[in-house]
Amino acid sequence: MTAPEPPPATRPRQRAARGEGDLLREQLLDAASALVHEQGSASSLSIRQVTKRAGVSPMALYLHFDSLADLVGALIDHGFTRFRAALHAAADAVPGDDPRARLRALGLAYLRFAREEPAIYAVIFGAEHERQQEAGEPDQHGVGAAAFQDLVDAIVAVQAVRQGREGDPRMLAMGLWTNLHGFATLCEVSDNEDMPWPDDETFVGMISDAWLS
C-alpha cells in the first residue's frame, strides 16, 4: 500500500530551467495583480483563479509560493517596489536641488503610476490594507510604511530650507497622500464627463500649496 502524497504546500520544490522560474513567477504575480484589480479585493482570490489566468496548472504556483497568502504578500512587496522606484526616478530627474520641485515631482509620479498601473495600484493600496487588518496592526517596517516615509522625508526637506509651513511632517504627509489617493481613485471610477477635473500638474500644485504654503 503506497503512502498518500503530501499536500502541495509541503512537497519539495522542483528546480525550474534557468530563467524559466523567474518568468513563471512574474506571470503568476501579473495574473494575481490583474484579478485583484478586476475584483477590487485580494480576499476573493483563489489559487485556481490565479493559475488559470496565468495559463499554468495549480501545482505550478507551489514551485514559487508556499500558499496563496505568500503569493499575495509577494504581490504587495513587488508592487510597492515598482511604485517607489517610479516616484524616486521622477524626483531624481528634477534638475538642481529644489526640494519643493522634487515634492511636486513625487506627486505627479504618484498620479501617473495610479493611471498607468491600475492593477498594481489596486493591489498595494487594497491588499496591503487587508493584510494589516488581518495582522491586527499596521506594519511599521514594511514596504508600505517605507513608501509613506518617502513622502515624509520629502516634506522634511522642504521644511529644512524654510519653503514649507512648520508642523508634524507625518501629519502633513498624511494630508497630501489622502488628497492624491482620493483624486487618483475618484478620477478612475467617475463616469461623470461633466466633472471639471483639473489636470495632474494643476492639482498637485494646488494641494502642495494648500498643505505646505
CATH number of the domain that 98 lies in?
Answer: 1.10.357.10
- Note the pTM of the prediction, 2 decimals: 0.76
pLDDT of residue 46: 92
In a domain, 190, yes or no: yes
Q: Say if 195 falls within a structural domain.
A: yes
Instruction: Flag whether 12 is in a domain.
Output: no
Of residues 106, 188, 113, 119, the one with CA closest to residue 148: 106
* Contact residues for 179 (Cβ-Cβ < 8 A; gap 6+): 207, 210, 211
Is 27 contained in some domain? no
DSSP structural state of residue 5: P
pLDDT value of position 129: 54
142 secondary structure, DSSP code: S
* Residue 198 predicted with pLDDT over 70: yes
Residue 202 lies in a domain: yes
Sign (positive/negative) of CA torsion 180, 186, 188, 194?
Answer: negative
Higher pLDDT, 71 or 141: 71
Residue 51 included in any domain: no
Residue 136: pLDDT over 60? no
Answer yes or no: is 192 within a domain: yes
Residue 165 grid coordinates: 509651513
Whether 134 is covered by a domain: the verdict is yes
Q: What's the domain count of the chain?
A: 1
pLDDT for residue 6: 41
Q: Please, what is the average pLDDT of the chain?
A: 82
CA distance linking residue 169 with residue 156, whole number of Å: 6
What DSSP state is assigned to residue 180? H
pLDDT for the residue numbered 191 = 58
Return all residues near 159 (Cβ < 8 A) that are at least 6 apart.
165, 166, 169
Q: What is the crossing angle of helices 68-92 and 128-135, to 10°?
A: 130
Question: Residue 87 has which C-alpha cell?
Answer: 516616484
Count Cα atoms within 13 angstroms, Cβ side, for 40: 3
Q: Kindly tell me if the per-residue pLDDT of 76 is higher than 60.
A: yes
Q: Which has the minimum average pLDDT: 4-18, 91-105, 140-154?
A: 4-18
Q: What b/e readout covers 175-186, taking b as 16+ CB neighbours within 10 angstroms?
A: bbbebbeebbee
**Structural domain of residue 136, as residue ranges?**
68-212
